[in-house]
Amino acid sequence: MLEIEFAQASDCGRGRDHNEDYLGCFAPEAEAEARTLGFLFALADGVGGGDDGEVASRLAVETLVQDFRRTAAGVPHSSLLPRLVQQANTRVFETGMANGPGGSNMATTLVACALRYDRVVVSHVGDSRCYRIRHGHAEALTRDHTVANEHMRLGLITAGEASNADTRHVLSRSLGPAMIVAVETRDYQIIPGDVLLLCSDGLHGPVGADAMASLVSRHAALPEAARELIDLANELDGGDNVSVQLIRVRQVERIGMYRGRPYKLA
């Protein structure tokens, strides 16, 4: 059976007086539930300022976790997770529209991962990220949905120009502004020892992937690693909210699929 341990932490940052990030997770209570439903982790970074960002990020994560908990057993995560993210988007959009004529600027990023057997499915919108740390190396499993990154993908600017562009923090998509959002979803294999790291740009902005991987790899205790990552981000910058979730894979259950049904591999 898939076995994991996890920790999470969030901080306002030295330059903010309130936190627009929000974290949530679902952990199965029984072995059967771990096989039929799995684990879910989600992190959102509200945008727009004021209370709207806080409300949007919390709505997105809580909607996602609640809908995941109510899902029928055995539904493939690769089709389930983007559908649930879209439902969370609808909830944020409708809440914003209910705030008055013309709605509000309520919006949020969202990155989520669902784990079962020996796979992780990652869905995201915006520039909150998911990394997989394996053998001391961090690999980004998401790509930022920012204007600069989209220009780079289209070949209009180079990677170096994108990293310094004024639009590198301007989101090209987020949850909330429209009824429909393009959710990016990918599926990856996980092995024992892998650590998944979900974070807002308050962490990945000032702290590079190599530094994250080095810090996490030298910590046996995930709560300590999470707290040290937050402290490092505040030391290097501190101008933004900073949040992180760490999920360490202890054991996996290798499975194959036949006619849509899983079977255990030797």
Q: What are the beta bridge partners of residue 42?
A: 24, 112
- Checking if the pLDDT of 263 tops 80, the result is no
Indicate the burial class of 82 (C-beta count within 10 angstroms; 0-12, 13-18, 19 or more): buried
The alpha carbon dihedral of 106, 187, 140, 38 has a sign of positive
pLDDT of residue 159: 77
Fold of 3-142+185-264: Phosphatase 2c; domain 1 (3.60.40)
Per-residue model confidence as pLDDT tens digits over 17-47: 889 999 999 999 988 898 899 999 999 999 8
Query: Full-prediction pTM beyond 0.85?
Result: yes
Q: In which band, very low, low, confident or very high, does the pLDDT at 265 lie, cut at 50, 70 and 90? A: low
Higher local confidence (pLDDT), 60 or 49: 60
What mean pLDDT, rounded, does the chain reach?
Answer: 91
Q: 61 in the Ramachandran plot: left (φ > 0), alpha (ψ -120 to 50) or beta?
A: alpha
pLDDT exceeds 70 at position 115: yes
Q: What pLDDT, in 10s, does the model give residues 229-254?
A: 999 999 999 889 999 999 999 999 87
Which of 42-51, 137-146, 227-236 has the least mean pLDDT?
Answer: 42-51
Q: How far apart are CA 130 and CA 43, in angstroms?
A: 10
In the three-class reduction of DSSP (H, G, I as helix; E, B as strand; rest coil), residue 57 is classed as helix
The answer, yes or no, to whether residue 91 has pLDDT greater than 90, is yes
Residue 215: DSSP 8-state: H
The helix/strand/coil state of 185 is strand
Strands 129-134, 195-199: pairing is antiparallel
Beta bridge partners of 185: 123
Maximum Cα–Cα distance for the chain, whole Å? Answer: 60
Q: Is 169 exposed, middle or buried (0-12, 13-18, 19+ CB in 10 A)?
A: middle
Q: Band of the pLDDT at 88, cuts 50, 70, 90?
A: very high
- pLDDT value of residue 183: 98
Q: Tens of pLDDT along 169-214?
A: 789 999 999 999 999 999 999 999 999 999 999 999 999 999 999 9
CA angle in degrees (0–180, nearest 5) for 63-69-73:
135
What is the reported pLDDT for 137?
A: 97
